[in-house]
Chain A
């Protein structure tokens, strides 16, 4: 029993050290990666790259620009600055520019991997879409979807039976299969209009639900057979071209057009919802899609028909390939973390170190442990398990077996 308790303690010590030591190491030695800020220029039909830490502005061919010249290449991004300096063009590509149009067509969207792998709230406010009020107001009740849709009054924590039955019947009549797999909408009242929620039912079909003058509006949206959405991000852009960006389980990006519910697939490759961040800048002429991975950034420019006009990729070394990363992989055989940049969930995130350089330190520590035991003239066969622990878990196991020593079991 004592032996078991010791091995359990050694295991807990190894786990703790595998969490703490790598964390302390990276806190001390990690160098930040300065990702470039990339936008597509409709003036010279090329990507413009702002390297923030170096304070340089350039295009993909390496031509350097001053800040002012850089901003002139991106008039739809820096329109306020160009108007202030009096250098805003009257038209681009034959289209006259006015501030209202520029502002209406300008959009920005950002999605981080940890927003997708995150706990869902489970309850959502269904706003009145046509209240006749200038400001959208937070409703008094919130809904959940289980075997039906329930509206629960927040003040009393009681289910509003009549409203729940009305909306459940409306969903049921449109063929909604309870419960919901995914509920996506803009849950804040700080938006220009309310467009309700896009809901994936238990059979992976997509529905639009909103409340119009107290009554349910439900529409089933046609989607291709077999298409499954892993995430939906509703947007509130001024041009009202589309309701949402939708992401399939195959990492395809779609948009859903406003009012006519056309699902359009964007020809964008390289996105991975599990570990990449996405930024989309929209303007009068183009969308710049930026996919940020740990070791590269990919920029894709689309025209207003959502066709690819240019792509650009910039890579850099992973932190494991930097000198401090190479030292890390020689010291530590693995790393455990309770948190991840790619998720909001707490898990035991285990990652084995790249390559097998850590084996040398593991064997060295095992040899050191062997000599240490030999000099104490202990029965080595009682310590074989400890030797194995040091051989496999390296520095973590070495510290653990010395913190929780085996000497009483000789």
Chain B
């Protein structure tokens, strides 16, 4: 049964996931082309100096990339479910309503995770070519909350899309929108180090948020 659920989800998100991942790979490739260009024209020491002491964040173009991914996959996966309330079919599977839903959700989240791991791996690998481990670690501390924001956006869109009442969709949108801003402050490089573990826990909390709106959907008199 789970294979069928996974296949159904795959059919919905595959082109979005592949397209997003390819665009992301191109984006990271471009990012490191700019770094390479900087090394060639300004010299390595000046690039390092501007990163270490002048606040230059070479990774800043990545800021909204994970967020866009989370939004894209969530919309691709959950929006079709709301057309004619198709999600009801899932709730009739002999799986248990929450189990079927969490399976769908886990598939989407894992797809997103795989895409993010490709980006993260590329980022870390290319960074280590140009920068020592201290600088790479600080950069990763800075981009980590952006990836968490991608997951949070995915979880929040699922929550909002499955909510049956427009009024509550608006409420969730307001809270979710403001909540996402806590991942996206623009501080100095490495500043998120004390907050990242807390943000990770909050993102994990959100992972089952859709059960709430799905419950309302199932029981919905709306």
A395 within 8 A of B: no
User: Which listed segment binds B: A10-18, A35-43, A210-218, A241-249?
Assistant: A10-18
For A, the interface residue count at a CB cutoff of 8 angstroms equals 48
A408 within 8 A of B: yes
Cβ contacts under 8 Å, A345 to chain B = 187, 191-195
Q: Are the C-beta atoms of B43 and A155 separated by less than 8 Å?
A: yes
Q: Are the C-beta atoms of A154 and B44 separated by less than 8 Å?
A: yes
Q: Are the C-beta atoms of B132 and A152 separated by less than 8 Å?
A: yes
Q: Are the C-beta atoms of A8 and B206 separated by less than 8 Å?
A: yes
For B, the interface residue count at a CB cutoff of 8 angstroms equals 50
B50 CB, nearest partner CB in chain A, Å: 11
User: Which listed segment binds A: B1-9, B68-76, B84-92, B174-182?
Assistant: B174-182
* Option from A119, A138, A339, A346 in Cβ contact (under 8 Å) with B138: A119
Of residues 171 through 204 on chain B, the ones whose CB sits less than 8 Å from some CB of chain A are 171-172, 174-175, 178-179, 182, 185, 187-195, 198, 202
B41 within 8 A of A: no
CB-CB under 8 A for A119 and B49, given A16-B178, A16-B179, A339-B187: no
Cβ contacts under 8 Å, A152 to chain B = 132
Closest to B134 in A: A122
Bound together, the chains give a CA A123 to CA B138 distance in angstroms of 11
B212 within 8 A of A: yes
A140 within 8 A of B: yes
- Counting chain A CB atoms within 10 Å of each CB, which of B193, B195, B212, B216 scores highest? B212
Cβ contacts under 8 Å, B120 to chain A = none
Q: Are the C-beta atoms of B132 and A19 separated by less than 8 Å?
A: no
CB-CB under 8 A for A9 and B212, given A123-B132, A142-B52: yes
Closest to A20 in B: B178
Contact flags (1/0) for A178-192 with B, using CB distance below 8 Å?
000000000110000
Bound together, the chains give a CA A4 to CA B207 distance in angstroms of 11
Q: Are the C-beta atoms of B45 and A346 separated by less than 8 Å?
A: no
Cβ contacts under 8 Å, B45 to chain A = 125, 138-142, 154-155
A112 within 8 A of B: no
Cβ contacts under 8 Å, A188 to chain B = 53
* Option from A144, A187, A346, A347 in Cβ contact (under 8 Å) with B132: A144
In the A-B complex, the 6 residue pairs with the closest CB atoms: A154-B44, A119-B190, A122-B134, A155-B44, A403-B171, A2-B215
A-B contact pairs, 11 of them (CB 8 A): A1-B98, A4-B208, A8-B206, A12-B175, A16-B178, A16-B179, A19-B178, A123-B132, A140-B44, A157-B131, A408-B215
Q: A188-B53, A404-B212 are in contact. List 17 more A-B contacts (CB 8 A).
A: A8-B205, A11-B205, A12-B175, A12-B209, A15-B179, A20-B178, A119-B138, A119-B193, A125-B49, A140-B44, A141-B45, A157-B44, A344-B187, A345-B187, A345-B194, A345-B195, A346-B191
